[in-house]
A = this chain, B = another copy of it.
Amino acid sequence: TAKASSKGIPIMTRAQRFHPLDPLSAAEIAVAVATVRAAGKSPEERDSMRFVEAVLLEPEKNVVALADAYFFPPFQPSLLPRTKGSAVIPSRLPPRRAKLVVYNRHSNETTIWIVELSEVHAATRGGHHRGKVISSAVVPDVQPAMDAMEYAECEATVKNYPPFIEAMKRRGVDDMELVMVDAWCAGYYTDADSPSRRLARPLIFCRTESDSPMENGYARPVEGIHVVVDMQNDVVIEFEDRKFVPLPPPDHLRNYTPGETRGGVDRSDVKPLIIDQPEGPSFRINGYFVEWQKWNFRIGFTPKEGLVIYSVAYVDGSRGRRPIAHRLSFVEMVVPYGDPNEPHYRKNAFDAGEDGLGKNAHSLKKGCDCLGYIKYFDAHFTNFTGHVETIENCVCLHEEDHGILWKHQDWRTGLAEVRRSRRLTVSFICTVANYEYGFYWHFYQDGKIESEVKLTGILSLGALMPGESRKYGTTIAPSLYAPVHQHFFIARMDMAVDCKPNEAHNQVVEINVKVESAGTHNVHNNAFFAEEKILKSELEAMRDCDPSSARHWIVRNTRTVNRTGQPTGYRLVPGSNCLPLALPEAKFLRRAGFLKHNLWVTPYNSDEKFPGGEFPNQNPRIHEGLATWVKKDRPLEETDIVLWYVFGLTHIPRLEDWPVMPVERIGFMLMPDGFFNCSPAVDVPPGSSDVDAKEAESPKAIQNGGLVSKL
Contact = CB atoms under 8 A, between A and B. Distances in A.
A264 interface: yes
A638 B602 CA distance: 54
B436 A409 contact: yes
Contact of A369 (B407, B433, B457): B407
A611 B413 CA distance: 33
A412 to B, nearest CB: 7
Given A291-B706, A345-B524, A525-B586, 4 more contacts: A214-B410, A287-B707, A338-B516, A548-B579
Interface in A434-475: 434, 436, 438, 444-448, 454, 456-458, 471-472, 475
Contact of A340 (B523, B694, B704): B523
A96 B165 CA distance: 73
Given A526-B588, A562-B655, A675-B656, A282 B270 contact: yes
Interface string A162-177: 0000000000000000
9 contacts: A280-B700, A365-B689, A375-B705, A376-B710, A378-B710, A406-B663, A513-B652, A525-B582, A526-B582
A336 B416 contact: no
Interface stretch (A33-41, A381-389, A666-674): A666-674
A691 B515 contact: no
Contacts of A581: 513-515, 528
A285 interface: yes
A702 interface: yes
A630 interface: no
Contacts of A406: 256, 456-457, 660-663
Interface stretch (A3-11, A105-113, A240-248, A678-686): A678-686
A404 interface: yes
B695 A682 contact: no
A501 to B, nearest CB: 24
A269 B282 contact: yes
Contacts of A513: 484, 581, 650, 652
Given A275-B273, A408-B457, A655 B678 contact: yes
B656 A676 contact: yes
A671 B291 CA distance: 38
A644 B279 CA distance: 47
Contacts of A628: none
Contacts of A657: 679
A472 B659 contact: no
Interface string A278-296: 1111111111100101100
A45 interface: no
B654 A417 contact: no
A75 to B, nearest CB: 14
A214 B583 CA distance: 60
A416 B438 CA distance: 14
Nearest to A182: B411
A562 to B, nearest CB: 6
Interface in A89-104: none
Nearest to A292: B269
Given A273-B275, A368-B420, A404-B456, A678 B706 contact: no
Interface stretch (A57-65, A116-124, A319-327, A570-578): A570-578
Contact of A271 (B279, B566, B704): B279
B410 A711 contact: no
A338 B526 contact: yes
A15 interface: no
B287 A280 contact: no
Interface in A517-536: 518, 521-530
Given A446-B656, A454-B404, A652-B513, A285 B707 contact: yes
B371 A401 contact: yes
Contacts of A377: 711
A274 interface: yes
Majority-rule SS of A interface residues? loop
A274 to B, nearest CB: 4
A376 to B, nearest CB: 7
Interface residues of A, number: 193
Given A280-B701, A582-B528, A698-B280, A266 B707 contact: no
B686 A368 contact: yes
A389 to B, nearest CB: 12
Given A671-B654, A679-B657, A367 B689 contact: yes
A453 B576 CA distance: 17
Nearest to A430: B409
How many monomers of this chain does the complex have?
2
Given A405-B663, A705-B280, A262 B656 contact: no
A271 B282 contact: yes
A175 to B, nearest CB: 16
A151 interface: yes
Nearest to A660: B406
A186 to B, nearest CB: 14
A235 interface: no
A525 B585 contact: yes
Contact of A658 (B524, B587, B678): B678
A137 interface: no
Contacts of A429: 404, 407
A261 to B, nearest CB: 10
Contacts of A448: 662
A286 B706 contact: yes
Contacts of A438: 404, 407
A418 interface: yes
A545 interface: yes
B689 A340 contact: no
B656 A672 contact: yes
**Leading 4 A-B pairs by shortest Cβ distance:** A280-B701, A446-B662, A550-B650, A525-B583
Contacts of A523: 340
Interface in A338-397: 338-340, 345, 348, 360, 362, 365-369, 371-378
A375 B708 contact: yes
A267 to B, nearest CB: 5
Nearest to A678: B253
A76 interface: no
A687 interface: yes
A189 interface: yes
A684 B663 CA distance: 14
Contacts of A227: none
Contacts of A675: 656
Given A214-B410, A214-B417, A655-B564, A340 B586 contact: no
A285 B587 contact: no
